């Protein structure tokens, strides 16, 4: 049996399935595991991470792209290839697998073609509450791996998955984060509390496009807080040098760190180091709750959020409209955190069905492997539900 873990998007998606691939290679000698991406940089990053799994035997495959496309990508400094074109040009390669495991949904483009029994398996790449994570096209995958009952319940209510069309696998990214975190020193050593500001990339939802620089100016003048500005990776993708130019005025502040998209911004280096979360709708708030701490949410769009399931995580902290109320909101979040802590723990446990002392990736690998063994390559793959 052959399985490919396919990566078409930015680096942040790698962390969600890479540990599952490595654990599958470790535990299932009957499965040949491949990791495939369209850029050498993606493969280099995965090879670097593979040092954490020295006994896992996998193959690293560079997807085919014509030379003119690669030259165009270099000239435009694109971090990802045209996704549908990449899938189309690699159909023959992808048809050679029993299963294709993906953290994104563009790969459903493959449904337009005869995949000859190859199963499409979706893991997602986050565990937030926004409606974009629960769209009906999830039901077009043959199998879905979910982190816990919160997402499973909502997908079932929306009829995106059937009882036998999904499995619970915990959250493999946490396994990798734990391995990486063992050797990290603190980012600041000045006695201040550290805030991580993590705005989303969509202008229609993000606080950044309205008050982002006002937030940075607030912290530049602060004598109480350190700030890590670590937005969603896609906000400044790719984080070229010229994109840092508007942030030069903050370079001299020792209590501020600006990171527009390094691997530290995706592997929880910053969310683990921070004392307080500041953001809007990024699903990283759910990851932040790995260790309950104060949280502040910026409602710059004046959303009526209290009974909206897409904003459920805003119940885990203090909500403020803008910079004018930020100083008070931060203080209140710290002062009232004991009142939120139990709610945060319950939210985390419902979101991520983890097992104490047990990593998630082996469990996710076993769920996917068991599904594929039950199906068999020659049986026809399910059509879109």
pLDDT tens per residue, range 186-227: 899 999 999 999 999 999 999 999 999 999 999 999 999 999
Task: Evaluate whether residue 253 is within a structural domain.
Answer: yes
**Same domain (yes/no): 311, 196:** yes
Distance, in Å, from the CA atom of 13 to the CA atom of 11, rounded to the nearest integer, reads 5
Task: Evaluate whether residue 330 is within a structural domain.
Answer: yes
Task: Evaluate whether residue 75 is within a structural domain.
Answer: yes
**Same domain (yes/no): 111, 213:** no
Task: Give how many domains the chain has, as a whole number.
Answer: 2
**Same domain (yes/no): 6, 152:** yes
What would the pLDDT profile of 250-281 be if each residue is shown by its tens digit? 999 999 999 999 999 999 999 999 999 999 99
**Same domain (yes/no): 62, 151:** yes
In this structure, what are the phi and psi dihedrals at residue 95, rounded to the nearest 5 degrees? -65, -15
Distance of CA 363 to the CA centre of its chain: 19
**Same domain (yes/no): 126, 197:** no
Task: Evaluate whether residue 180 is within a structural domain.
Answer: no
Whether residue 153 has a cis bond before it, omega within 30° of 0: no
DSSP one-letter code for 162: -
Q: Give the long-range contacts of residues 148-155, CB within 8 A, separation 24 or more.
A: 148/349, 148/350, 148/351, 148/352, 148/353, 148/354, 149/350, 149/353, 150/350, 150/351, 151/124, 151/127, 151/351, 154/309
In this structure, what are the phi and psi dihedrals at residue 155, rounded to the nearest 5 degrees? -65, -40
Do 81 and 69 meet the contact criterion of CB atoms below 8 Å apart? yes
What does the pLDDT read at residue 383? 41
**Same domain (yes/no): 237, 145:** no
- Mean pLDDT calculated for residue range 155-180: 93
**Same domain (yes/no): 235, 345:** yes
Task: Evaluate whether residue 29 is within a structural domain.
Answer: yes
Over the chain, what is the mean pLDDT? 94
**Same domain (yes/no): 235, 109:** no
Residues 6 or more apart whose Cβ sits within 8 Å of residue 267: 15, 176, 177, 180
Q: What is the CATH number of the domain that holds 250?
A: 3.40.50.12580
**Same domain (yes/no): 223, 197:** yes
**Same domain (yes/no): 330, 370:** no
What does the pLDDT read at residue 378? 46
Q: Which residues pair with 195 in a beta bridge?
A: 227, 276
Answer yes or no: is pLDDT of 133 > 90: no
Q: What is the pTM of this model?
A: 0.93
Kindly write down the DSSP assignment for every residue of 37-78, as one continuous string: ESSHHHHHHHHHHGGG-TT---EEEEPP--HHHHHHHHHHT-
Answer yes or no: is pLDDT of 313 > 60: yes
Task: Evaluate whether residue 368 is within a structural domain.
Answer: yes
Distance, in Å, from the CA atom of 42 to the CA atom of 286, rounded to the nearest integer, reads 25
Distance, in Å, from the CA atom of 140 to the CA atom of 5, rounded to the nearest integer, reads 18
Q: H helices within the chain, ranges in order? A: 14-27, 40-49, 67-76, 83-89, 91-94, 149-157, 172-181, 208-220, 269-273, 284-288, 326-335, 337-351, 361-375
What would the pLDDT profile of 3-54 be if each residue is shown by its tens digit? 999 999 998 999 999 999 999 999 999 999 999 999 999 999 999 999 999 9
What does the pLDDT read at residue 135? 83
Q: What is the CATH number of the domain that holds 86?
A: 3.40.50.2000
Do 299 and 319 meet the contact criterion of CB atoms below 8 Å apart? yes
What does the pLDDT read at residue 181? 82
Task: Evaluate whether residue 381 is within a structural domain.
Answer: no
**Same domain (yes/no): 273, 134:** no
381 band by pLDDT with thresholds 50, 70 and 90: low
Which residue segment(s) compose the domain that 213 sits in? 185-351
Give the 3-state secondary structure of residue 261: coil
Residues 6 or more apart whose Cβ sits within 8 Å of residue 375: 98, 119, 142
**Same domain (yes/no): 165, 43:** yes
- Mean pLDDT calculated for residue range 71-92: 95
Percent of the chain residues topping a pLDDT of 90 = 87
67 band by pLDDT with thresholds 50, 70 and 90: very high
Task: Evaluate whether residue 163 is within a structural domain.
Answer: yes
Give the 3-state secondary structure of residue 332: helix
């Amino acid at each position: 049996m052959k399985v490919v873990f396919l990566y078409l998007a930015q680096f942040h998606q790698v962390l969600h399935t890479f540990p599952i691939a490595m654990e599958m290679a470790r535990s299932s000698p009957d499965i040949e595991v491949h990791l495939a991406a369209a850029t050498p940089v993606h493969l280099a990053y995965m090879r670097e991470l593979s040092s954490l799994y020295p006994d896992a035997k996998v193959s690293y495959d560079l997807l085919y792209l014509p030379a003119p496309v690669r030259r165009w990508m270099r000239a435009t400094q694109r971090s990802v290839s045209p996704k549908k074109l990449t899938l189309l040009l690699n159909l023959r390669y992808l048809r050679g697998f029993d299963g294709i495991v993906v953290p994104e949904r563009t790969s459903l483009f493959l449904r337009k073609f005869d995949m000859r029994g190859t199963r499409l398996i979706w893991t997602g790449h986050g565990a937030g509450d926004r409606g974009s994570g629960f769209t009906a096209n999830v039901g077009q995958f043959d199998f879905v791996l979910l982190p816990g009952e919160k997402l499973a319940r909502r997908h079932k209510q929306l009829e995106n998955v059937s009882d036998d069309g999904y499995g619970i696998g915990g959250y493999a990214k946490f396994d990798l984060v734990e391995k990486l975190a063992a050797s990290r020193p603190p980012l600041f050593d000045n006695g201040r509390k550290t805030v991580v500001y993590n705005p989303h990339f969509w202008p229609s939802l993000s606080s950044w496009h309205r008050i982002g620089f006002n937030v940075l100016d607030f912290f530049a003048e602060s004598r109480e807080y350190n700030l890590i500005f670590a937005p969603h990776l896609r906000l400044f993708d790719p984080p070229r040098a010229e994109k840092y130019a508007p942030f030069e005025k903050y370079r001299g502040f020792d209590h501020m760190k600006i990171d527009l998209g390094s691997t530290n911004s995706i592997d929880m280096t910053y969310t683990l180091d921070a004392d307080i979360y500041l953001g809007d709708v990024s699903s990283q708030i759910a990851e932040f709750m790995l260790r309950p701490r104060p949280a502040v949410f910026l409602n710059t769009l004046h959303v009526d959020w209290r009974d909206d399931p897409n904003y459920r995580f805003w119940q885990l902290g203090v909500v403020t409209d803008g910079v004018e109320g930020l100083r008070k909101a931060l203080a209140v979040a710290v002062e009232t955190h004991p009142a939120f802590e139990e709610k945060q723990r319950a939210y985390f446990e419902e979101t991520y069905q983890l097992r104490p002392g047990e990593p998630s990736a082996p469990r996710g690998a076993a769920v996917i492997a068991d599904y594929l063994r039950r199906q068999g390559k020659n049986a026809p793959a399910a059509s879109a539900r």
